[in-house]
Structure 1
Amino acid sequence: MFRLSNNLIGILNIATFLLSVPVLGAGIWLANRADTDCEKFLEKPVIALGVFLMAVSIAGLVGACCRVSWLLWLYLLVMFLLILLLFAFTVFTFVVTNKGAGKAVSGKGYKEYKLGDYSDWLQKRVNGTKNWNKIKSCLIDSKVCNAYAEKYSKDTVVNDFYNEHLSALQSGCCKPPDSCNFTYVSPLVWTASSTTTYTDSDCNAWSNNSTVLCYNCQSCKAGLLDNLKGDWKKVAIVNVIILVVLIVVYSVGCSAFRNSREDNAFWKGRNP
């Protein structure tokens, strides 16, 4: 008779296998339908995750239900490595997102973002031209600034605009930094002074062209990192929960592995 731990491992891996099917399907769908760099960037990791979940769940299911000790051993090894990697990634996430925050601007409802306030590791990820061009393409494709312009289109007076609560991406990428002192015309149109020489590179990078705006600004990179920082912290919290679940599953798997070895030894003893 199967023991409880074997049954639990079997049920858990059936659930994991069922989960892997839509994940793999989503990856294949993206591979066939991807038109933008953002979608193309996602397809390979999604397919890899789907294949990984399917392979691990099959190994665990066959190993537990058919008393195949070596498959269970392989399953437990993969689980152990996954726990180590997830733990390391969670710690790393908390470390690299510990620095950086938007700075409140006097009399305005939004914050300004400086790239130098964030961790060096994160800065390096966005400072590379190749990386940033891909990220910039994603920002343009997602129409972040188009939605922002539509939302605040009724702000014909600059003081109305200054009272708005902008997101980090909107503040960093869709308008010039406040330090430039540009003249407000509309959320996406600002007039620079013809007599001022700007020392801030972001002021020179700004363009009223809707495909340029401040996408090449340091403030845009900082806004992205602030947005990423918030998302990563949420992911880290979820990772802690997943770690607890994986440790419990790993413990049950160890019990199932012992059961399989004992059962195999029993049947060998019955069939000399």
Structure 2
Amino acid sequence: MVHNNVLHQNAVIGFVGIGVMGKSMAGHILSKGHKVLVYTRTKEKALKLVEQGAVWKQSVAEVAQEANIVITMVGYPYDVEEVYLGENGILAHANEGTYFIDMTTSTPSLAIKIYETAKQKGMYSLDAPVSGGDVGAKEARLAIMVGGDHDVFEACKPLLEIMGQNIVYQGQAGSGQHTKMCNQIAIASNMIGVAEAMVYAKKSGLDPETVLKSISTGAAGSWSLSNLAPRMIAGNFEPGFFIKHFIKDMGIALEEAKAMGMETPGLELAKQMYDELAEKGEENSGTQAIFKLWE
């Protein structure tokens, strides 16, 4: 089959999951004049989008029945499983030829299961997790890592380009999720380093903001240092990315690494530290709240 650009005149895009990231991502699609159907468990989160012209649907099934492309951005793998494979889920109610793009960070094995189930029904599925946090979502500068059939990726790429800038096809189904695990592993140890550096700056009597001016553009530079260290210094621990979701991601990465016979000491340490934060009631704070472990 030849796949044409999914953003044709009659495109109806369903968006399930209007959270910290989803609301901006759906908003960008809406702003380009496309018809967008939305569903999320807490209706209040979608009201602003509805005011801007999105159409509210009462269930995932209703979205699936009407949309020819469905994007999902939910919390955990069990949410993804329920949304796609449950009896009231997308795959039970979507029409043949529908495209699915799951942008949740989930397990590679589940991405493969959704892909295979969709294929049996004459539907198309991509796993396309993202990186860039709330800022990347707001500014449509997300990194999007994609797994699935290459021709389906090419057909959906114009839609992904509305939400992100660095869009890379990684390979077969599950590859997007494996790439996101590489991303989370790199961030895990980096977050410890960023927090330690900021605490060290403070304790040595330096001005952390001035220190950042020197180190953020040098060899120590990273997205976390540029974007999250200023939040640490300001005492702003609002979530760009929830600690509870980061713990979930690190858990997936640890399981996948273990299955491959690989040791991940940096990842293990970071997970222990974030688990400690969650036990202290910080699970709904942003990942930069790791800074509080030194206070």
TM-score tier after normalising by the smaller chain length: under 0.3
Q: Choose between structure 1 and 2: higher strand proportion.
A: 2
TM-score, scaled to structure 2:
0.24
State TM-score, norm by structure 1: 0.25
Higher relative contact order (CA 8 A, sep 6+): 1
Based on CA coordinates, which of the two structures has the bigger radius of gyration? Answer: 1
